[in-house]
Amino acid sequence: MRALEINISGYRNLKKISVNPGSGVNFIYGRNAQGKTNLIESIWMFTGARSFRGAKDSEVVGFNEDFAKLEGKFFIENRKQNISVFFGNGKRKVFLNDISQIYPTKIIGKFRVVLFSPLQLSLVSGGPEKRRKFIDAAICQLKPTYISHISSYNKILRQRNALLKNFCLDSTRDFLEVLDEKLSHTGAILIRERLNYLELLKKESLRFYSEISDNSEIMDINYIPSFSKNISYESDFKLIKNEIMLKLEKSKNSDIKSGFTSFGPHKDELDMFIDGKKVRLFGSQGQQRSAALCLKLAEASVLKESLNDSPVILLDDVMSELDEFRRNYLVNKITNNQVFITDCNSDMYKKFKNGKLFEVDNGFIREVHRI
Ligand SMILES: Nc1ncnc2c1ncn2[C@@H]1O[C@H](COP(=O)(O)OP(=O)(O)OP(=O)(O)O)[C@@H](O)[C@H]1O
Ligand SMILES: [Mg+2]
């Protein structure tokens, strides 16, 4: 999978531009506030998802423009395909191969992208909910049916919490038992899927981390269920379900007191270690950044295996806090995917052996040819 040509007009500060990216690394440099992240965001928009910066559709239209237009030619599913995205009047309109789509989200799953931006650092340094969200979103990319399991789990959880808050009658106790059975069943489905996915992710991220650190550091990842210490990758569905049931039963009285379900997949944690120390607590800035980056690269690798096609990798502002070796690794060693990397530092391109170079200056983009 790769972008062949991207035409942009009226998008944020970007001028009317046309970019022909290479199939390998595309290194985009420029001073602060010139439009590098805007370019990355515009490429992201072809996925059909919302802006990764949390921007509303009306906010990506240039300040003095009425609408923004993104037109791209891609190589997807072994053939050339076009995607166009228009933003105007606070709305988004999407065309796939010149056919208008009823909903903009209709194109989700066509152009696959894995993104790393400074916002992703919270994957390592933030609270456990960031990591749970990351795994769940990554599984959804592989198995769209997983979304319905998450929604069912959340629905049952909301019902159980509402019941706990108003707990008084004996009849409520019977209903609680019904909900506990449902919650542990759906919860076990989530845990089993997460464990399966993590096994694949772990293998790839450990390999990336070892390579990016020049084999000097070892990364590790562990899934920590909130409800039992007896769960591992080998645990079968039945065991997981039983463990959740047992914990729900044991914590029933304290849950009634707090009005909240205190154990289950919504409380599980994903611990990351470097050389045996928790990265979140003891990792340096560069180690935290490298760990988050390796998770994203691993996500792309797992996705590639399942799609039999490589997703495009977008790396925005990833270089700061990384040493020479790690920077060099990023621009020269990721060879299986089309990659877009931004950086403020133009010296980097001297070490850049393959791929294309682009300079972003005041919303203009020009390809820089090496002599
Ligand atoms: N809707 C918009 N219309 C016009 N300009 C906008 C819009 N939204 C943002 N900008 C401007 O785009 C400029 C470039 O932003 P961008 O985030 O792409 O910079 P950058 O090159 O990534 O810089 P940095 O190196 O600091 O990350 C900013 O100065 C911002 O004010
Ligand atoms: Mg930026």
Q: What are the tens digits of pLDDT across the range 332-341?
A: 888 889 999 9
What pLDDT is stored for residue 345 in this prediction?
A: 85
Whether residue 145 has its Cβ less than 6 Å from ligand 1: no
CATH number of 2-112+309-368: 3.40.50.300
Distance CA 305, CA 303 (A): 5
Residues 361, 367, 368, CA angle at the centre, nearest 5°? Answer: 90
User: What are 143-173's pLDDT values in tens digits?
Assistant: 889 999 999 999 999 999 999 988 776 667 7
CA of 363 from ligand 2 middle (Å) equals 12
Per-residue pLDDT of the chain (371 residues; tens, 9 = 90+): 999 999 999 999 999 999 999 999 999 999 999 999 999 999 999 999 999 999 999 999 999 999 999 999 999 999 999 999 999 999 999 999 999 999 988 899 899 999 999 988 999 999 999 999 999 999 998 888 999 999 999 999 999 999 998 877 666 778 899 999 999 999 999 999 999 999 999 999 999 999 999 999 999 999 999 999 889 999 999 999 999 999 999 999 999 999 999 999 999 999 999 999 999 999 999 999 999 999 999 999 999 998 889 999 999 999 888 999 999 898 888 888 999 999 998 777 766 777 899 999 999 999 998 76
Ligand minimally distant from the alpha carbon of residue 63? 1
What pLDDT is stored for residue 371 in this prediction?
A: 67
What pLDDT is stored for residue 70 in this prediction?
A: 98
CA of 233 from ligand 1 middle (Å) equals 44
Ligand minimally distant from the alpha carbon of residue 59? 1
Whether residue 363 has its Cβ less than 6 Å from ligand 1: no
Q: Are 317 and 118 in contact (CB under 8 A)?
A: yes
* Spatial CB neighbours of 302, under 8 Å, sequence gap ≥ 6: 138, 142, 197, 200, 201, 204
What pLDDT is stored for residue 171 in this prediction?
A: 64
The residues of the chain that CATH labels 3.40.50.300 are: 2-112+309-368
Whether residue 117 has its Cβ less than 6 Å from ligand 1: no
What pLDDT is stored for residue 169 in this prediction?
A: 64
What pLDDT is stored for residue 172 in this prediction?
A: 74
The residues of the chain that CATH labels 1.20.1050.90 are: 124-282
User: What are 209-228's pLDDT values in tens digits?
Assistant: 999 999 999 999 999 999 99
Question: Within 10 Å of residue 109's Cβ, how many Cβ atoms?
Answer: 12
What pLDDT is stored for residue 77 in this prediction?
A: 92
> What is the model's pTM?
0.92
What pLDDT is stored for residue 13 in this prediction?
A: 98
Whether residue 62 has its Cβ less than 6 Å from ligand 1: yes
- Fold classification of 124-282 (topology level): Glutathione S-transferase Yfyf (Class Pi); Chain A, domain 2 (1.20.1050)
* Spatial CB neighbours of 7, under 8 Å, sequence gap ≥ 6: 17, 18, 19, 69, 70, 71, 72
